[in-house]
């Protein structure tokens, strides 16, 4: 019996675990930099980037609508409908929709399904790392008005208050055909020049930040573009 | 070189333009072929153009410092440098490019130079996955350079010249004069090294999509990404033309060049879709065993 | 399993043995002797696999009922040990020294029900909820609808229909008159 006890007894060291945990101890990299260097890191506000005018912008919008790189971050249950979308039957690649692993390189963020507070922090952080122009698709009813989890203690009801959304696709979960129709709508909006979510975010930055900080009570992230 | 300088520059620019477009269409075409094999429809052939336009049309970009900016520039310089010393079409004034004695060593150097620059730039980005990708890339590159260099040495010993144009000239005179048939061991070693060079499976651990987010280009976006993608097209084209010149007898006209390089590229693609991925230590061990042995054998047999 | 159950009754004073199926039985045990019972089951009776360990909030009687489900891989039988603890001072001895993964279950119970397991590693760290500011949400006095309305902003214009009435009106409007 003592051998069985020895094999099964794993007592983790409490102090060692405490020392390794970084909760509440995040030190921002620009904490003690001179003012002129601070802007290279976390405290630079976003600016509204004015689009070009006329035919140039039309052409660039056409190019942006033909090459949509989706961030590979499955925020909720919507991600399960994105997988059949990429396979042979529905084949989103022929519309120029490719998955990219990093927010730096992607231009479309698909918020699939419910957003809990834990996910909301990561969504904000990933969204701010994407480059202007960027587009957000809200997949499913939970992004519109809370959906099935409207009375849950941990999910938000309107993703609109925290990041700007371009297209909503209703459903629980929408089928791949519905998602393709939503992408088609997004392309129409991009070509018409209406999908300026990044500029909207920069313009109403204070309002968005205030909403985010009010809902996320343990804010331990930098303010922008980390 | 009796022609005026600006004419040389114009010819070089024309060559670059043609190889760039050829590389992009090659990428698009093979992606579509791969899609059709998998039963899908696939991206349109001109999709990489749109991707590059879209990336350059991004309105903001994030830079992490001077070296971060110089990384893609070095890589592009490596790609263009490789191309400029290989005759794209043998015997043509327009596409003959530059040549001098010893340029095969310069070309090998340029292939390595691009990766080094990228390593420095990716390191400045500060992302841990970039660093992992960079260390894997450099390790693998060091490994596949061994059979490649041995094979080039075998060819040099066979003809006693270090100039690519003269190596191509030595292969004229019928199909059997190609190094593919006159020095098959060297060709075998170099083709295996070519699999590692193109970064297809089983040697795709450098960018390793789905494993580490894209590897070295993790932090690159906007115009940097556009530059990296353009370089990919140029570099692919340059490597294919190099191999065509060293082992398949060069090309007398554009049609022949397209045919030979396409066949060579499809070879790597077919191998790529059939294999899973090696880990870095497995691929290094692989390159240093049989391909290196074939290379050494090629050098010895050619010297005899 | 009847021999096992009667043996446990004589050794540890367990009550209410229920044989739910041929291979599943439950017993109830007192709080002071529960960990001894579980140790005995693990070490001497061969129930070496902790399947799960959870709590049920019985607000009418003012207690939490913890259930430890153990599995015997040789005999392929399961036994569930139920322990009642007081709802106001919810505290139970930790079993992380028997199975290391119990520390995670205990962390979850602390966060969701407020049951404390003194000595369990990292039991105070939040498990799933971040930026949480209220009582543990799985307790039955917690009103999730009121909390959601108070904390999260709803989109205006949301209507809620009683489904039977709504479908009746929609499909058979002439029967209303």
Question: How large is the ipTM?
Answer: 0.83
- Does the pLDDT of residue A9 top 70, yes or no? no
Q: pLDDT value at position A29?
A: 54
Using CB atoms, pick whichever of C131, C144, C148 lies closest to residue A218: C131
Using CB atoms, pick whichever of C100, C144, C152 lies closest to residue A157: C152
Angle of helix A54-66 relative to helix B47-56, nearest 10 degrees?
A: 120
Q: pLDDT value at position A4?
A: 42
Residue of B nearest to A101 (CA): B213
Within 13 Å, how many C-alpha atoms sit on residue B220's CB side? 28
> Closest Cα to residue B216, out of B138, B163, B161?
B138
B96 touches chain A (CB under 8 A): no
Does the beta-carbon distance from A49 to B35 stay under 8 Å? no
Residue with tokens 């693990």: C42
Query: Which residues, other chains included, contact A15 with Cβ-Cβ below 8 Å and sequence gap of 6+?
Result: none
Contacting residues of A for B213, CB less than 8 Å apart: 101-102
Which H/E stretch holds residue C83? Answer: strand C77-86
| Region at B267 (left for phi over 0; alpha for psi -120 to 50; beta for the rest) | alpha
Within 13 Å, how many C-alpha atoms sit on residue C84's CB side? 11
Residues of C with CB under 8 A from a CB of A: 43-44, 48, 96-100, 103, 121-122, 125, 128-134, 137, 142, 144-145, 147-149, 151-155, 158
Q: pLDDT value at position A5?
A: 42
User: Which residues share a beta bridge with A138?
Assistant: A111, A168
Query: Which residues, other chains included, contact B173 with Cβ-Cβ below 8 Å and sequence gap of 6+?
Result: none
Contacting residues of A for C43, CB less than 8 Å apart: 1, 4-5
User: Burial, B58: exposed, middle or buried (Cβ in 10 Å; 0-12, 13-18, 19+)?
Assistant: buried
Q: pLDDT value at position A11?
A: 57
Angle of helix B222-247 relative to helix B66-84, nearest 10 degrees?
A: 30
Does the beta-carbon distance from A157 to C133 stay under 8 Å? no
What CA–CA distance (Å, rounded) separates A182 from A168? 8
> Closest Cα to residue B8, out of B128, B96, B120?
B96
SS3 state at C49: strand
B221 touches chain A (CB under 8 A): yes
C/B Cβ contact: 3+ pairs below 8 Å: no
Q: What number of other Cβ atoms are within 10 A of residue B184's Cβ? A: 14
SS3 state at B38: coil
Residue with tokens 């040549």: B99
User: Comparing A223 with C73, which gets the higher pLDDT?
Assistant: C73
> Closest Cα to residue C140, out of C114, C121, C171, C110?
C114
What CA–CA distance (Å, rounded) separates B148 from A167? 52
Contacting residues of C for A121, CB less than 8 Å apart: 130
Contacting residues of C for A1, CB less than 8 Å apart: 43-44
Q: How confident is the model at residue C176 (pLDDT cuts 50, 70, 90)?
A: low
Q: pLDDT value at position B210?
A: 60
For the stretch B248-255, contacts whose Cβ atoms lie closer than 8 Å and that sit 24 or more positions apart, written own/partner, are B248/B178, B248/B179, B248/B180, B249/B168, B249/B171, B249/B172, B249/B175, B249/B177, B249/B178, B249/B179, B249/B180, B250/B87, B250/B90, B250/B168, B250/B171, B250/B172, B251/B88, B251/B89, B251/B90, B252/B89, B252/B90, B252/B91, B253/B89, B254/B89
Using CB atoms, pick whichever of A63, A102, A198 lies closest to residue B54: A63
* Residue B232 near residue B115, CB atoms below 8 Å: no
What CA–CA distance (Å, rounded) separates B28 from B5? 35
What CA–CA distance (Å, rounded) separates A131 from C77? 57
* Strand runs labelled E in chain A: 68-71, 97-100, 108-112, 135-139, 167-169
Size of the A and C interface in Cβ pairs below 8 Å = 81
Distance from CA of C133 to the nearest CA of A (A): 8
- Does the pLDDT of residue C153 top 50, yes or no? yes
What CA–CA distance (Å, rounded) separates C95 from C121? 11
Best residue in A153, A207, A214 to probe C by mutation, most C CBs within 10 Å? A153
Write the DSSP assignment of A147-180 as a string of letters.
Answer: GGGTT-SSB-S-GGGTS--SEEE-SSSPPHHHHH
pLDDT (tens place) for every residue of chain B, 304 residues total? 567 888 888 888 888 898 999 999 998 998 898 889 888 888 899 999 999 999 998 888 877 778 888 888 888 888 888 888 888 887 777 777 777 777 888 888 888 888 888 888 888 877 888 888 888 888 888 898 899 999 999 988 888 888 888 888 888 877 888 888 888 889 999 999 998 888 777 888 777 666 666 777 888 888 888 888 888 889 888 889 888 888 888 888 888 889 999 999 998 888 888 888 888 888 889 999 999 999 999 999 988 8
Residue of A nearest to B53 (CA): A63
SS3 state at B292: helix
Contacting residues of A for B58, CB less than 8 Å apart: 107, 131-133
Using CB atoms, pick whichever of A63, A87, A100 lies closest to residue B57: A63
Write the DSSP assignment of A5-24 as a string of letters.
Answer: HHHH-----HHHHHHH--TT
Residues of A (54-93) whose Cβ lies below 8 Å from B: 60, 63-64, 66-67, 87-88, 91, 93
Query: Which residues, other chains included, contact A3 with Cβ-Cβ below 8 Å and sequence gap of 6+?
Result: none
Token pair, residue B263, equals 């066949």
SS3 state at B186: helix
Residue of B nearest to A67 (CA): B51
Q: How far is the CA of B194 from the CAs of A40, B223, B267, in angstroms? A: 41, 29, 10
Q: pLDDT value at position A1?
A: 41
The model's pTM: 0.83
Residue with tokens 């230590």: B281
Contacting residues of A for B62, CB less than 8 Å apart: 104, 131, 225
């Amino acid at each position: 019996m003592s051998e069985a006890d020895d094999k099964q007894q794993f007592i983790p060291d409490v102090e060692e675990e405490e020392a390794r945990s970084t909760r509440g101890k995040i030190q921002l990299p620009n904490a003690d930099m001179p003012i002129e260097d601070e802007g290279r890191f976390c405290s630079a506000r976003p600016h509204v980037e004015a689009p070009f005018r006329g035919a140039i912008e039309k052409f660039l919008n056409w190019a942006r609508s033909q090459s949509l790189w989706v961030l590979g971050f499955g925020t909720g249950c919507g991600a399960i409908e994105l997988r059949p979308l990429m396979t042979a039957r529905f084949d989103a690649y022929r519309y120029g929709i490719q998955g990219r692993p990093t927010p730096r390189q992607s231009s479309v963020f698909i918020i699939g399904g419910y957003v809990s507070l834990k996910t909301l922090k990561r969504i904000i952080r990933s969204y701010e790392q994407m480059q202007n122009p960027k587009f957000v698709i809200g997949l499913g009813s939970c992004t519109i008005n809370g959906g099935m989890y409207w009375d849950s203690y941990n999910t938000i009801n309107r993703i609109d208050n925290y990041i700007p959304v371009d297209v909503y696709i209703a459903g629980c979960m929408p089928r791949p055909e519905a998602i393709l129709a939503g992408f088609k709508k997004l392309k129409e909006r991009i070509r018409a020049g209406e999908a300026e979510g990044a500029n909207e975010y920069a313009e109403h930055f204070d309002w968005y930040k205030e909403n985010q900080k009010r809902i996320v009570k343990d804010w331990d992230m930098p303010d922008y573009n980390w | 070189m009796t022609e005026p300088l600006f004419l040389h520059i114009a010819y070089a620019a024309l060559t670059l333009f043609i190889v760039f477009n050829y590389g992009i269409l090659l990428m698009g075409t093979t992606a579509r072929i791969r899609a059709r094999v998998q039963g899908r429809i696939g991206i349109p052939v001109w999709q990489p153009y749109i991707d590059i336009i879209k990336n350059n049309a991004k309105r903001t970009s994030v830079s992490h410092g001077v070296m971060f900016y110089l990384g893609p520039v070095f890589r592009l310089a490596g790609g263009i440098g490789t191309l400029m010393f290989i005759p794209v079409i043998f015997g043509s004034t327009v596409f003959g490019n530059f040549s001098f004695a010893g340029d095969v060593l310069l070309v090998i150097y340029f292939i390595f130079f691009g990766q080094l620059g990228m390593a420095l730039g990716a390191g400045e980005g500060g992302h841990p996955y970039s660093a992992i990708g960079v260390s894997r890339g450099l390790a693998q590159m060091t490994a596949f350079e061994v059979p490649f260099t041995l094979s080039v040495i075998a060819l040099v010993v066979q003809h006693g010249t270090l100039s690519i144009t003269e190596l191509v000239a030595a292969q004229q005179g019928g199909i059997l004069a190609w190094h593919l048939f006159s020095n098959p061991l060297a060709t075998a070693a170099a083709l295996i090294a070519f699999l590692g060079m193109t970064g297809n499976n089983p040697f795709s651990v450098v960018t390793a999509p789905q494993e580490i987010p894209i590897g070295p280009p993790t932090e690159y976006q906007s115009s940097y990404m556009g530059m990296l993608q353009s370089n990919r097209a140029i570099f692919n084209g340059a490597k294919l033309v190099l191999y065509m010149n060293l082992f398949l007898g060069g090309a007398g006209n554009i049609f022949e060049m397209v045919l030979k390089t396409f066949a060579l590229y499809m070879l790597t693609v077919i191998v790529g879709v059939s294999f899973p991925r090696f880990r870095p230590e497995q691929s290094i061990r692989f390159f240093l065993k049989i391909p290196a042995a074939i290379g050494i054998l090629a050098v010895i047999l050619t010297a005899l | 399993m009847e021999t096992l159950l009667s043996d446990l009754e004589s050794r540890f004073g367990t009550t209410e043995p229920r044989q739910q199926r041929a291979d599943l039985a439950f017993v109830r045990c007192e709080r002071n002797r529960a960990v001894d019972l579980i140790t005995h089951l693990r070490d001497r009776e061969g129930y070496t696999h902790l399947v799960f360990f959870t709590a049920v909030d019985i607000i009418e009687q003012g207690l939490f009922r913890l259930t430890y489900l153990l599995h015997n891989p040789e005999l392929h039988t399961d036994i569930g040990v139920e322990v009642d603890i007081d709802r106001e001072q919810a505290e139970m001895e930790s079993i992380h020294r028997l199975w290391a993964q119990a520390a995670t279950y205990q962390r979850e119970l602390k966060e969701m029900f407020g049951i404390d397991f003194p000595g369990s590693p990292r039991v105070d760290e939040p498990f799933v909820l971040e930026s949480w500011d209220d009582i543990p949400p799985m307790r039955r006095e917690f009103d999730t609808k009121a909390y959601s309305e108070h904390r999260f902003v709803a989109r205006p214009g949301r209507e809620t229909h009683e489904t039977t009435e709504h479908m009746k009106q929609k499909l058979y409007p002439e029967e209303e008159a």
